[in-house]
């Protein structure tokens, strides 16, 4: 009986052992299967998208467009080509019979000096401005040739003194004398000769184009923006040149920052454009003497140096004018030898015969 009991107990123990072994085996198999499944999923699942990185590109700040200025007046011009536009100088009469003149107000630079017998005459220079009526046109003198030479300008005139014509016709200048280009000038019927010759830039531009005078390159004066002075020092200017008919006066106008020009006791008007109002008035002392050419002619010293007074922004600046030779540009310097910047706009330069009582006073 004990033997039977022991045998049964042994079988039961063996069965239990086998059961546990099978259970562990199955559990192990499950672990292996689970691991394989995980590996399969990891291996074959779709790749996760990498989050996109936003790249912010900073746009470069555009450079401001270039600004171009006329070398004659310092005023803005539309493009670089305009800075080399051809310059034309025109001799304009100033006897009472020639007044009011046409085309003076828009000129960029005007040189004023005595031509003969105390009568003044103007050399008016143009670059961007193109008035269609200019005159009366008259003859040239040698000192006007000296002033025009540095601007590489055409010279419009009707004949001239002997020395002036010898110089301007020597092949070094852009001479557009009416004597040889009559079609570019005409005589008006509302005035009598010799005070009635006129021209226009329609005709002069065509003549310059035909002759190949299409650009001008020259040394420009330094320029600056203008602004009325807080404390003006010169608002009334009297320029003595020769006599009452030719002496000039200027009243400073702070609103426009210009100088209203008077002559012979009356406003100096351009017949078409109204009162002449330069931005800068320069009075330069010169020496004037009579010399013999084709008769006795006035001669003004244009080279060397001398005293000058510059009026701009309602102020007066003492200066020195200097011109080395005929081809050199005239300059205006301060006591330290530096060139004085001129306000943009028309510059009116009067050469007064200091050795004959010419001068300027202001208040």
CA trace torsion 339, 344, 349, 354 (10° rounding): -40
Distance CA 136, CA 207 (A): 19
| Residue 120 pLDDT greater than 70, yes or no | yes
The backbone torsions φ and ψ at residue 188, rounded to the nearest 5 degrees and listed phi first, read -75, 155
| DSSP symbols for 301-343 | --SEEEEEEEEETTEEEEEEEEE-STTSPPEEE-TTSPBPPEE
Closest to 246 (Cα-Cα) out of 91, 101, 119: 119
Task: Report the pLDDT averaged over residues 146-167.
Answer: 98
Provide the mean pLDDT of the chain.
Answer: 89
Provide the residue ranges of all domains of the chain, joining segments of one domain with +: 68-362
Residue 189 has what DSSP assignment?
A: S
Q: Give me 332's structure tokens.
A: 């205006």
Give 71-112 pLDDT, tens digit per residue: 999 999 999 999 999 999 999 999 999 999 999 999 999 999
Q: Which residue has the tokens 């102020």?
A: 315
Distance CA 258, CA 241 (A): 21
C-alpha count within 13 angstroms, C-beta hemisphere, residue 122: 27
Pick the CATH number of 68-362 from 3.40.1550.10, 3.50.90.10, 3.40.50.2300, 3.40.50.10130: 3.50.90.10
Distance CA 145, CA 321 (A): 17
Give 278-318 pLDDT, tens digit per residue: 999 999 999 999 999 999 999 999 999 999 999 999 999 99
Q: Give me 183's structure tokens.
A: 């079609």
């Amino acid at each position: 009986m004990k033997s039977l009991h022991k045998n049964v107990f042994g079988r039961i123990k063996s069965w239990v052992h086998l059961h546990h072994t099978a259970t562990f085996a199955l559990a192990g198999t499950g672990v292996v299967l689970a691991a394989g499944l995980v590996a399969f999923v990891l291996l074959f699942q779709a790749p996760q998208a990498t989050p996109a990185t936003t790249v912010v590109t900073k746009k470069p700040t555009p450079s401001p467009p270039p600004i171009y200025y006329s070398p004659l007046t310092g005023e803005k011009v539309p493009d670089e080509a305009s800075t080399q536009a051809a310059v034309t100088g025109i001799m304009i009469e100033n006897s009472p019979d020639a007044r009011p003149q046409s085309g003076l107000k828009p000129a960029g630079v005007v040189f004023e000096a005595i031509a003969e017998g105390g009568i003044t005459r103007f050399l008016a220079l143009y670059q961007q401005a193109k008035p269609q009526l200019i005159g009366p046109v008259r003859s040239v003198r040698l000192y006007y040739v000296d002033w025009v030479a540095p601007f590489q300008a055409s010279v419009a005139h009707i004949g001239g003194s002997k020395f002036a014509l010898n110089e301007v016709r020597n092949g070094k200048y852009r001479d557009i004398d009416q004597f040889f280009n009559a079609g570019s000038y005409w005589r008006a019927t509302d005035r009598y000769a010799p005070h009635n010759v006129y021209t226009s830039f329609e005709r002069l531009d065509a003549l310059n184009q035909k002759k190949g005078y299409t650009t001008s390159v020259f040394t420009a004066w330094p320029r600056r923006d203008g602004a009325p002075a807080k404390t003006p020092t010169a608002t009334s200017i009297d320029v003595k040149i020769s006599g009452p008919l030719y002496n000039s006066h200027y009243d400073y106008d702070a609103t426009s920052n210009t100088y209203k020009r008077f002559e012979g006791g009356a406003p100096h008007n351009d017949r078409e454009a109204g009162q002449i109002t330069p931005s800068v008035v320069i009075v330069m002392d010169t020496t004037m003497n009579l010399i013999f050419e084709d008769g006795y002619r006035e001669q003004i010293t244009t080279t060397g140096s001398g005293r000058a007074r510059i009026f701009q922004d309602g102020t007066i600046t003492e200066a020195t004018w200097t011109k080395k030779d005929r081809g050199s540009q005239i300059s205006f310097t301060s006591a330290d030898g530096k060139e004085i910047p001129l306000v943009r706009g028309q510059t009116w330069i009067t050469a007064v015969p200091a050795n004959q009582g010419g001068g300027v006073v202001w208040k």
